[in-house]
Amino acid sequence: MSERIQKVLAQMGLGSRRQIENWIREGRVRINGSIVTLGTCLNPDDRLTVDSRQIKLPVAGEAVDTRVLIYHKKVGVICTRQDPEGRPTVFADLPRLRQGRWIAVGRLDINSSGLLLFTNNGELANRLMHPSYEIEREYAVRVLGEVSAETLKRVITGVELDDGVTKFDSIVDAGGSGANHWYHVVLKEGRNREVRRIWEAVGHKVSRLHRVRYSNVVLPRSVRPGKFEQLPPDVVEILMAAVDIQGQARPKHTQSKRQGRNKTRV
C-alpha cells in the first residue's frame, strides 16, 4: 500500500515533517532516480534516496517502534545537532539509533534548562509541537522585582508581542525572597523565547527558566542535568494518544547515562 513520502520518512525518524517537506522542495529526495514533489506516494518496492544516499525502507507490515527520551538540559548547551562555534549540543549526550535519528520536540534556548523530549518518530514530534494540538508546556521561572496583581492579570489575559498577542494559560506563585520570585507558568504553544518575552513585555527580567513538564511528561528528580531516561511504552502510548496517533510503543533497551555510568533501562 502506498503512502505519502513525507509521512513515511517522518515515521522512520529521518526528520520532522517540516524538515522533510523542505528537503522535497529543495529537490534532495528521489524515488527511482526521479525528483519527487510534495504528496508523492511511496511504494514498498521503490528505491528511495536522500542526497544520493539510499534509504532502506521498512518491510511491509513491519512497524518501527516509537521511542521517547526524557532529557535534562543544562544551561550553556544548545539544541542544534552541530555548532560552528564548537559549543556543546544536547545531541552529543544521546544514545545512537540503529535506524533513523533522534528528533527534538521543541527547543530551549542556551540560557534555559530542564525537560526536553526526543523521539525517533517524526510525525509524533511534529504534532507535539504543532499549536493546533494545544499541548501544555510548564515552566518554573524566576523573575526580578516585585510583580503586581495588575501585571499578573495582564500575563494571563494577553500581552502584545512583535509576532502577535500571547498569554500564559495559568500562573502559580511558587514563592521566593528578596529581589527574586518564582512562578510556575503554563502555555500551549512554543514561540521562540516566548516565556522570556512575555515577562519582558510587562517590565520584568527572567533570571532563571526551567521547563518541568511537556504534555503528560514531568521531568523526574532522578534524571540529573545532562542525562536521559527512556519513557516506558505505556507512557509513550498516552503521549501519542494526546495527538491522535494510534500505534504500539513496544519496549526497547537503551543506554541511560547517570552519574557518569551507563545503565540499561527498558
Q: Are strands 261-265 and 41-42 parallel, antiparallel or unpaired?
A: unpaired
83 is catalytic: no
Q: Residues near 58 by Cβ (< 8 Å), separated by ≥ 6?
A: 12, 64
Per-residue DSSP letter, 136? -
Cβ–Cβ contacts within 10 Å for residue 261, how many? 8
Alpha helices in the chain, H assignment, sequence order = 5-11, 17-25, 122-129, 149-157, 194-201, 233-241
Burial of 175 (C-beta count, 10 Å sphere; 0-12/13-18/19+): exposed
Q: How far apart are CA 83 and CA 158, in angstroms?
A: 35
Cell digits for 196?
A: 522570556
Residues ≥6 apart with Cβ < 8 Å to 62: none
- 191 close to 107: Cβ distance less than 8 angstroms: no
Catalytic, out of 65, 109, 162, 163: 109
Q: How far is CA 103 from CA 62, 66, 150, in A?
A: 21, 12, 40
Amino acid identity, position 91 = F
Q: Which residue's C-alpha cell is 543544562?
A: 74
Helices (H), 73-193: 122-129, 149-157
Q: What is the set of active-site residues?
A: 109
